[in-house]
Amino acid sequence: MSALERSVGGGIGEMMHKDSGMSIVELMVVLSMLAILSAIAVPNYYAWLPKYRLSTSARDVLSDLEFARGIAIKENASVVVQFNTANNRYWIWVDNGTAANKDNWTQDGDERTIRGRRTAPGISLTGADFSGNNQIRFTGNGLPEVKTVPPSLGGGTVTLASKVDNRVVVLGVGGKARIQ
């Protein structure tokens, strides 16, 4: 064997046959570490998911109230947001029907639905209170009206709940919404 072969630890033939890869023991160690990390992460994910869905649903309600207000201003028309707590859904429609159907707080056949939405899975729409009603109407200037006789300016609340928490979307008399 030459001096060069001794300095690199053997001949060329020995270098070509060097073992590479992982042993079964190394593979088992890696799999065990993955199992431990999964056991820690999965319960945290399931605890986080309802809170995430609740926050998302509350933000959806808030943004849809702001959207309805914007449509009312843009089209100079009355736009109603109606909540159905029994089915965990709500929809937005323009209350601009012809003659007797205009501004009557009822969606008639000639009034278009702008948007409908259902809450996220596991999230309940537990309350919508606008002076005792489940509807709020934005006027052409963007102010919220409650369904009273005669209609008057007003705000209200929408309550959403999961198994672990709840959120309340508050609509002020000036038309500004926020999440509590």
Q: How many helices and strands (H and E) does the chain possess?
A: 3, 10
Could you tell me which residues come within 8 angstroms of residue 15 by beta carbon, excluding any fewer than 6 positions away?
Answer: 8, 9
Domains, the chain, with CATH or none: 24-179 (3.55.40.10)
Written as tens digits, the pLDDT of the chain (180 aa) is 555 555 555 555 555 555 677 788 888 899 989 988 887 877 776 777 889 999 999 999 999 999 999 999 999 999 999 999 999 999 999 998 887 788 889 898 889 999 999 999 999 999 999 999 999 999 999 999 999 888 889 999 999 999 989 999 999 999 999 999
Residue 103 is predicted with a pLDDT of 85
